[in-house]
Amino acid sequence: MSMEQIRALLRVYTPGRRVRFLPEALATRERMPAGVTEGVILKLLPLAKTQETILPHVSLPDPYGVEVEIETPGGRDTMVFRTEEVAFLPSDEEELRRELVGRSVNFPRSSGIGIDFPPGAADDGIIVGIGYRDDPTGMALDRIVSLEIPVDPTLNPDGETLFRTVADFTQCQLMRKR
């Protein structure tokens, strides 16, 4: 799958978006705590192809799923659902902003996300704002997040304690609420 196809999927299955679980999620529901019917998307995940999806001479799209944060009687947990097992709950930008602002994200620097981090910067940050910018093709909008990242002043020659930056949301992994 090309990066453009993955970006298109991420525009649809946006982390922070609320979903409800469809009857097709029956196998997953058997492991779900009673009364849980919805959750918040944390990330889009490629799924392993099963025997049903591997057919000779037939090109099927790669299977994808979403990791969803659910509220349980004991706190929070996560479960993985195939994309066809979830439906979006009505949402607007303000609701998405309330869900995302203040949440932690992780951004593996080994993926080459193009941000020049100062020495001592952590791999996790806090979302302090969300917005959009044109994607590289100019055909769509990509979600961007403003981040605050703690910096260890003992590892930073300038004594910085906080680094602020803007990142493409597809480069971040939304973390579970604690």
pLDDT per residue as tens digits for the range 82-102:
888 899 988 778 888 888 999
Contact 132, 144 (CB under 8 A): yes
Q: Residue 165: its pLDDT value, please?
A: 92
Return the percentage of the chain with pLDDT > 90, whole number: 28
> Of 175, 111, 177, 103, nearest to 145 (Cα)?
103
Least confident of 35-39, 106-110, 132-136, 148-152: 106-110
pLDDT digits (tens, 9 = 90+) for 114-160: 788 899 999 899 999 998 887 667 666 778 899 999 999 999 999 99
Region of 12 on the Ramachandran plot (φ > 0 left; ψ -120 to 50 alpha; else beta): alpha
Centre a 10 Å sphere on the Cβ of residue 69 and count the other Cβ atoms it contains: 19
Contact 47, 65 (CB under 8 A): yes
Q: Residue 1: its pLDDT value, please?
A: 67
Q: Which residue type occupies 41?
A: I
pLDDT digits (tens, 9 = 90+) for 54-72: 455 555 467 888 999 998 8
Mean pLDDT across 35-44: 88
> Of 145, 161, 166, nearest to 101 (Cα)?
145
Q: Residue 154: its pLDDT value, please?
A: 95
Q: How much is the pTM?
A: 0.75
C-alpha to C-alpha distance for 83 and 63, rounded to whole angstroms: 8
Top pLDDT among 77 and 109 is at: 77
What average pLDDT does the chain have? 82
